[in-house]
Copies of this chain bind each other. A is one copy, B any other.
């Protein structure tokens, strides 16, 4: 019997009425004879409400205890969904992350799924039940509750689809597919019929909220087909995320904006032996190398760090952006490093946004690079950094310019039907 994983996000289960609506979508798939695993997020804004509750008793909550608290959000959703399915006459059973066998590493608040021990779910499916699983949570080897970070329910759904060899993983949300940019901010955004894992991953990594980057990475690795669909238009098949062989290759498939980043600039004091003692220069270079290595460990890769040099050898400035999530760790790392460079300076800017265009080859195409800079310049948007990844080209702009930047860049690159370089 064909298996299907269906995942419903927070907005799709925001209250009892929405849960019943989602349950009817599940019932339809059940009527088609599918074996079903349903993954649910916490209802509506309940995760944010729980975080705010914690902050009322502790300004810097311990990540382990915060995970115990946050895990309740999805636990409420699984029981509510199971009860809703039962009220429609279906057999259903809820599973917390630990009960579903989702085993993670120890990183509270941003845990990574290591393996899925799916025997309890298999038994449930064999009994003819719809298995309802809590997204976003798991258990480490010490039986401690862990959570996977923002958007972690997508990753749960993909991990289960892989472990249970499901034919597809349907991600239900309040938009009906992947768009060339966020349709809530740019009305002329166009929906993509399908997209490759690689381009989707680049979009998600560049800040497209629609799918969590880790879940796409996992889908790519395990070859799980994803469909992004709307709870409100269940008849619409949405956007398919699949392998490169089955998806068109776009020159530019979309524009993404990430406002949840911090720009960091580290201005280093010059070598005190400015006359150029080779030995001192070498020691200095080694220290800088050391900082770069530590940044790399935090996920800030050297290729995305702009290094300005005072002369042919001496690096005088490091500039990069990083996720807000790790900005505290980056700061403390750099504070520590600065002790080695007297009178150096660190400049942090949270008021930035990173605008990225995604597509095969954008990062090597000089033409596209120039078009991006010209477009922003014509719109009088100041650009502070340009960086590139395999499938993306990004510009850092002041946060208050982000709407106009996205709109203009989208108009320039995506106004026409997204151009497929090849269609298989």
Residues of chain A having any CB pair with chain B under 8 Å: 16, 19-20, 23, 50, 53-54, 56-59, 61-62, 64-66, 68-69, 71-72, 75-76, 78-80, 82-84, 86-87, 93-94, 96, 99, 143, 145
Contact = CB atoms under 8 A, between A and B. Distances in A.
A76 B50 contact: yes
Nearest to A142: B120
B84 A58 contact: yes
21 contacts: A16-B57, A19-B57, A20-B57, A53-B76, A57-B84, A57-B87, A58-B87, A61-B83, A62-B82, A62-B83, A64-B93, A65-B82, A65-B86, A68-B79, A68-B94, A69-B79, A69-B83, A72-B75, A72-B76, A96-B145, A99-B143
Contact of A53 (B66, B72, B80, B145): B80
Contacts of A64: 93
Given A62-B86, A99-B143, A68 B78 contact: yes
Given A58-B86, A58-B87, A69-B75, 11 more contacts: A50-B76, A53-B76, A53-B80, A54-B79, A57-B80, A57-B83, A65-B79, A65-B82, A68-B82, A69-B79, A96-B145
A84 B94 CA distance: 31
A40 to B, nearest CB: 12
Nearest to A120: B143
A269 B357 CA distance: 85
A56 B13 CA distance: 13
Contacts of A68: 75, 78-79, 82, 94, 96
- In the A-B complex, list the 3 residue pairs whose CB atoms are closest, starting with the nearest: A16-B56, A69-B79, A58-B83
Contacts of A20: 57
Nearest to A59: B87
A352 B288 CA distance: 81
Contacts of A61: 83
A54 B83 contact: yes
Nearest to A57: B84
Most buried by B among A53, A56, A79, A94: A79
A220 B61 CA distance: 40
A19 to B, nearest CB: 6
A96 B20 CA distance: 29
Contacts of A76: 50, 53, 69, 72
A84 to B, nearest CB: 4
A83 B64 CA distance: 10
A141 to B, nearest CB: 14
A94 B67 CA distance: 11
A403 to B, nearest CB: 37
A395 to B, nearest CB: 40
B83 A65 contact: yes
Contacts of A71: 75
Contacts of A59: 87
A50 to B, nearest CB: 7
A79 B94 contact: no
A87 B61 CA distance: 8
Nearest to A75: B72
Contacts of A23: 57
B62 A80 contact: no
Contacts of A75: 68-69, 71-72, 75
Nearest to A143: B99
A54 B66 contact: no
A231 to B, nearest CB: 16
Contacts of A145: 96
Contacts of A54: 79-80, 83
Contacts of A86: 58, 62, 65
Contacts of A50: 76
A97 B84 CA distance: 26
Nearest to A56: B16
Nearest to A81: B57
